[in-house]
Amino acid sequence: MSIKLTILGCHSATPRENAHPTAQFLQIKSRNFLIDCGEGTQTLLRRHQISFSKIKHIFISHLHGDHFFGLVGLIATFGLYNREHDLHIYGPKGLKEIILLQLKYSKSWTKYKLFFHELESKESELIYEDKKVEVHTLPLDHRIYTNGFLFKEKIGERKLNMEAVGNYPEIEVCDFHNLKRGKDFRSADGKTTISNNELTFPPKKALSYAFCSDTAYKPELVPLLQGVDLLYHESTFLEDKKELASITKHATAKDAANIASQANVSHLILGHFSNRYKDLDAFLSEAQTIYKNCSLAETGKIFEIKS
SS3 state of residue 230: strand
For the chain, give the mean pLDDT: 95
In whole angstroms, give the CA distance from residue 140 to residue 254.
Answer: 17
Question: Is the model's pTM score more than 0.75?
Answer: yes
User: Class assignment of domain 2-156+204-306?
Assistant: alpha beta
Res 172: pLDDT: 85
pLDDT of residue 179: 80
Contact 224, 262 (CB under 8 A): no
Residues tagged active-site: 66
Mean pLDDT of 182-190: 83
Q: Which pLDDT belongs to residue 304?
A: 97
Q: Region 178-191: what's the mean pLDDT?
A: 83
Closest C-alpha among 285, 215, 223 to residue 251: 215
Q: What is the DSSP string of 160-221?
A: E-HHHHTT-TT--GGGHHHHHTTPPEE-TTS--EE-HHHHEEPPPPPPEEEEE-S----GGG
pLDDT 10s digits, 89-111:
999 999 999 999 999 999 999 99
Cα(15)–Cα(21) distance, integer angstroms: 6
According to DSSP, residue 79 is labeled H
Min mean pLDDT across 12-16, 150-154, 279-283 is at: 12-16
Residue 218 Cα distances to 53, 61, 69, angstroms = 36, 16, 26
pLDDT at residue 191 tops 80: no
Separation in Å, CA 273 to CA 38, 94, 135, 234, 250: 14, 27, 26, 8, 10
Q: 296 — phi, psi (to 5°)? A: -95, 135
CA distance 80 to 161: 51
The residues spanned by each domain of the chain are 2-156+204-306, 159-201
On the question of pLDDT at 1 being above 80, the answer is no
- pLDDT for 171: 85
pLDDT confidence of residue 284: 98
Q: What are the tens digits of pLDDT across the range 107-125?
A: 999 999 999 999 999 999 9
pLDDT at position 45, please? 98
Which pLDDT value is given to residue 157? 84
E-strand ranges in the chain read 2-9, 23-28, 31-37, 57-59, 87-92, 114-119, 126-129, 133-139, 147-153, 159-160, 185-186, 193-194, 200-201, 208-212, 230-234, 268-271, 294-296, 302-306
